[in-house]
Amino acid sequence: MSATAFDWLCETSSRFSKAGAALVQVEGRRWLKLDNYVGALETPCGTRIEILPKHFEQGDCIQQSRVLLRRMIQKSLDLPTRKVGATALQRFDAPLTEWVMSSFLEAFDHLIKRGLRFDYQRLEEEQRYLRGQLNTARQMRQPPGRQHQFQIRHDIFLPDRPENRLLKTALDIVCKTTEDPSNWRLSHELRSMLQEIPTSRDTTQDFKQWRHDRLMAHYQPVKPWCELIIQQQTPLAIAGEWQGMSLLFPMEKLFERYVAACLKDSLPPDATLHTQRSSEYLCTHQGKKVFQLRPDLMITQGEKSWVLDTKWKRLDSELGSKNYGLSQSDFYQMFAYGQKYLGGQGDLVLIYPKRGAFQEALPVFEFSEGLRLWVVPFDLELRRILAIVGVGGHL
């Protein structure tokens, strides 16, 4: 890494820390330790930093980690794709940002072939001929020397609408930042077709005006990719004069959403998955509820309920003498969930990523005779929790 890129990371980390979102930990002048974020960063000097999840221990770890990260992002954010499954992900051996830009260009190219939506725009102007409607109020105020000019209003059919402005803005970002020859060629081909469409001046407002009716259905596959490129997932907006192509995701939150999305696909019809339930509090103080309890996931099936919490941490089932690497504070938290959400009776589940040293569920932890805690691995490849006897067939 260049010295300028290192200094920029230190400066950016300092701004994040002041706002309560640590990005990196500086260890001397030679080391940076990433703080639970994955994705990609681009520095002002052009250095691209790829941050991959630390999961694989054998084989081509970089390639496997890239495929895993893309799969988790795609599943967690419900991103559409026209490519087929994991095979396409494995073929595209490039950093995360290039994969996002390639997916956006593919979806946008398909949209262009189906045709952009135009919209009528009301235009008021002065002309020497009548067209549309005569603006009588303004015409009556015409000075004597300009009465031969007509104040008119009429509609023109233009592609200048919020959705197209956002797509043009995202396309301009891709044209400026991509380093992949295929992406560069396709992005410039598409931009040449959008000469008459302006870029968005207010992306937030234009996203609010993005329509989702039947006539705009063919725009939906490209919207999530457009949002990723324009809004760029970062812990905080990187303030200042530099705004490179950066995509950062909190690994804890990404793992939580990935598990939730996978579980939702495998639940039986009569079971319901709830995310971030917040109906219970730890205690009351002077008649007011305080310390809200928010488990990551909760499954209800008839009269039965299970509380689940996800943790992106490497456990070792051989380290029983050291509590397998489990955190005592997590157990306190799960005990509180069990008391408030399950009434002290039922099953709680802590979910960790499956790895070589953690292949199967640990022996059950019992808080009391009726309240049990299971610590289980989640297979990131098969997208499922290993079965727990007595907790439910869908787990």
Task: Give the model's pLDDT for residue 282.
Answer: 93
CA 43, CA 97: separation in Å to the nearest integer? 13
Q: What's the whole-number mean pLDDT along residues 331-341?
A: 94
To the nearest whole percent, how much of the chain has pLDDT over 70?
A: 83
Is the predicted pLDDT of residue 148 greater than 60, yes or no?
yes
Is the predicted pLDDT of residue 7 greater than 90, yes or no?
no
Question: Residue 280's pLDDT band (boundaries 50, 70, 90)?
Answer: very high
pLDDT-wise least confident of 8-22, 134-148, 224-238: 8-22
Average pLDDT, the chain: 82
- C-beta of residue 385 within 8 angstroms of C-beta of residue 361: no
Task: Give the model's pLDDT for residue 392.
Answer: 47
Tokens of 42: 């681009």
Is the predicted pLDDT of residue 84 greater than 60, yes or no?
no
> How far lies 345's CA from each of 120, 271, 278, 297, 366, in Å?
61, 19, 19, 17, 11
Task: Give the model's pLDDT for residue 395.
Answer: 52
Task: Give the global pTM.
Answer: 0.77
Which is more confident, 56 or 144?
A: 144
- C-beta of residue 41 within 8 angstroms of C-beta of residue 246: yes
Question: Residue 384's pLDDT band (boundaries 50, 70, 90)?
Answer: confident
Q: Which domains does the chain have, with CATH numbers?
A: 3-116+161-251 (no CATH), 267-385 (3.40.1350)
Q: Which is it for strands 371-379 and 384-385: parallel, antiparallel or unpaired?
A: antiparallel
Task: Give the model's pLDDT for residue 82.
Answer: 53
Question: Residue 91's pLDDT band (boundaries 50, 70, 90)?
Answer: very low
Task: Give the model's pLDDT for residue 6.
Answer: 75
pLDDT-wise least confident of 35-44, 108-117, 152-161, 314-323: 35-44
48-51 sheet: strands from edge to edge: 48-51, 37-42, 247-250
Q: What is the pLDDT of residues 208-262, one digit of tens each?
A: 999 999 989 999 999 989 988 887 655 433 434 444 567 788 889 999 999 999 9
Question: Residue 47's pLDDT band (boundaries 50, 70, 90)?
Answer: confident
Task: Give the model's pLDDT for residue 16.
Answer: 59
Task: Give the model's pLDDT for residue 387.
Answer: 60
Tell me the angle at which helices 61-76 and 251-266 cross, rounded to the nearest 10 degrees. 60
Is the predicted pLDDT of residue 30 greater than 80, yes or no?
no
Which is more confident, 240 or 387?
A: 387
